[in-house]
Amino acid sequence: MDKHFICLANSYKCGGRCVAGVEVTIDREEQWKVVKNEDGSPKWIRPIDSNTEYGEVPEDEARHIPMLFVVKLIDVRPCPHQSHSEDVFYHQMIAIGSIISSPETLQNLSDLVHPEIFYTTELAISPETYAQGNYSLMMIHPDSFQFHEDPTKDRAKYRITFKYNEALYDFSVTDPSFYEMISSGQNVIDQLKDIYLTLSIGLVYEGRHHKLVAGVIIPSSRNIEGDKYVVIKQEAICFKTSRMLSYKERRSCKCAFVVPTQKGLAVCVKKKSGQELFFELDEGCIAEPWQSVNLKRVRIMVYQDYFGNEIRKLCLFKCTFRQGIIQKLKRFLLFNRD
């Protein structure tokens, strides 16, 4: 049996990823509708890889599944385990489209049934509570929130303190897209005014199952016109491979920077020979128009569509963002010179 879900989590897990989302049905008009449990809460799906130790999805396979994309799971077989009742084995994951991240659609995906987060208001649950539970995923709209660095970690890791249904929580954040978003500076966090959180229960650690934030989702601030529940179709693609640019390739380039296009953002690579190459940005990359790109921090992502055609995109990691009128003037002259 095949199923569809909207990806609401793609977080770190034991060297791989934990991918999960709310199950949806899609009709002939490409309208999506949330599948509900008997209690009225959204029904979740967590793909489990049967070939890995803890069921984690391999990094290379999960990287091409952006947040808020509609995913088709091929050959789904339920494999629930205690509170992780959402677990399923699968044969293949294919990203087929995306949804509009309006507050209305995100609210439709949120859990409005459970007043407490995973059975209690504590930060973790006992193995006994975990064994008796029947759900381990939910998305909420916190009443208030504040991010802060975790002082117990050597590397920069964040926690979030938030209020939900009059209770105060403090969870660790394991969402890679969140860390990519804040890599340009702390001020990005300060600018967040409204978010939705995907919450999950982790594997047992120090005798308890800790609650965590597996996804940080920012609702769109644009005025959304038309039907909010239509799947925005993309090329049905699956990940094939990825690689960094070689030293020889980087030496042949003069500069690279982000440019706006009709489809969104792309990277313009100017070669020393005078040739200009344009690459579409990989989904989930955080970038700004006219942002300079460090070619040492670029990875070429190769995908394959149903017809075997290869699709190449660029993924950026911690690129330098140069602001100011001088840099913008240089970009203007590059495109308007005789």
pLDDT digits over 3-46, tens only?
999 999 999 888 889 999 999 999 988 899 999 999 999 999 99
Cβ count near 166 (within 10 Å)? 8
- For residue 2, the one-letter residue type is D
**Listed range (173-177, 249-253, 320-324, 331-335) with the worst mean pLDDT:** 320-324
Strands (E), 107-166: 124-125, 137-140, 144-149, 158-164
**How many whole angstroms separate alpha carbon 267 and alpha carbon 230?**
29
Q: What distance in Å separates the CA atoms of residue 268 and residue 165, rounded to the nearest whole number?
A: 47
CB 22 within 8 A of CB 199: no
How many other β-carbons are positioned within 10 Å of the β-carbon of residue 63? Answer: 20
CB 98 within 8 A of CB 105: no
Q: Is 265 exposed, middle or buried (0-12, 13-18, 19+ CB in 10 A)?
A: middle
Phi and psi, residue 32, nearest 5°: -105, 150
List the single range of 95-109, 122-136, 235-249, 269-283 with lowest mean pLDDT: 235-249
As a whole number of angstroms, the distance between CA 144 and CA 125 comes to: 23
What are the pLDDT digits (tens) for 214-235?
A: 999 999 866 666 677 888 876 5
Helices within the chain (DSSP H only): 59-62, 103-109, 127-132, 176-182, 187-190, 247-251, 325-336
With a cut of 50, say whether residue 321 has pLDDT above it.
no
Contact 315, 298 (CB under 8 A): yes
Could you tell me the CA-to-CA distances from 279 to 241, 275, 309, 312 in Å, in that order?
Answer: 16, 13, 16, 7
Once rounded to an integer, what is the mean pLDDT over residues 124-130?
A: 96
The string of pLDDT tens digits covering residues 174-185 is: 998 888 887 655
Mean model confidence pLDDT for the chain = 86
Residue 303 pLDDT greater than 80, yes or no: no
Q: Give which of 304, 242, 312, 243 is closest to 277, Cα–Cα.
A: 312
User: What's the rounded Cα separation, in Å, for the pair 306 and 319?
Assistant: 32
